[in-house]
């Protein structure tokens, strides 16, 4: 499974005390491709967690996040119309 990550999911994934942590962990086990997240989502996640290291660690541990901007650039390079 692949998809787009939002702030709530990322915070729940990184914070074991979050009420949705179990759900986020179950979802993360189904993810087979890097999730897409825009820079504002990553910035919000760092703000809520008050720890950039947790966000970076999730990226290194297999739950990698790709920049939405980077993904759009690759899509344009290969001729995909994102707004069809």
Q: DSSP of 30-46, one letter per residue?
A: H--SPEEE-HHHHHHHH
Cβ atoms 63, 31 nearer than 8 A? yes
The predicted pLDDT at position 33 comes to: 78
Q: How many domains does the chain have?
A: 1
How do beta strands 65-67 and 35-37 pair? Answer: parallel
Model confidence at 37, in pLDDT bands (50, 70, 90)? confident
Range of the domain at 17: 7-77
Look at residue 83 and tell me if it is in a domain. no
Domain assignment present for residue 32? The answer is yes
Statement: residue 83 has pLDDT above 50: no
Does residue 84 lie in a domain region?
no
In a domain, 61, yes or no: yes
Assigned domain for 36 exists: yes
From start to end of the chain, where are the E strands? Answer: 35-37, 65-67
Averaged pLDDT, 27-35 = 83
Q: What is the mean pLDDT of the chain?
A: 73
In a domain, 16, yes or no: yes
Does 73 reside within a domain? yes
């Amino acid at each position: 499974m692949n998809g787009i990550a939002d702030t709530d999911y990322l915070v729940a994934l990184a914070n074991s005390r979050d009420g949705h942590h179990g759900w986020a962990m179950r979802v993360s086990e189904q993810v087979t491709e890097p999730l897409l997240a825009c820079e504002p989502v990553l910035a919000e996640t760092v703000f809520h967690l008050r720890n950039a290291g947790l966000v970076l660690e999730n990226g290194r541990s297999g739950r990698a996040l790709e920049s939405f901007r980077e993904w759009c650039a690759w899509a344009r390079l290969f001729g995909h119309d994102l707004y069809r």
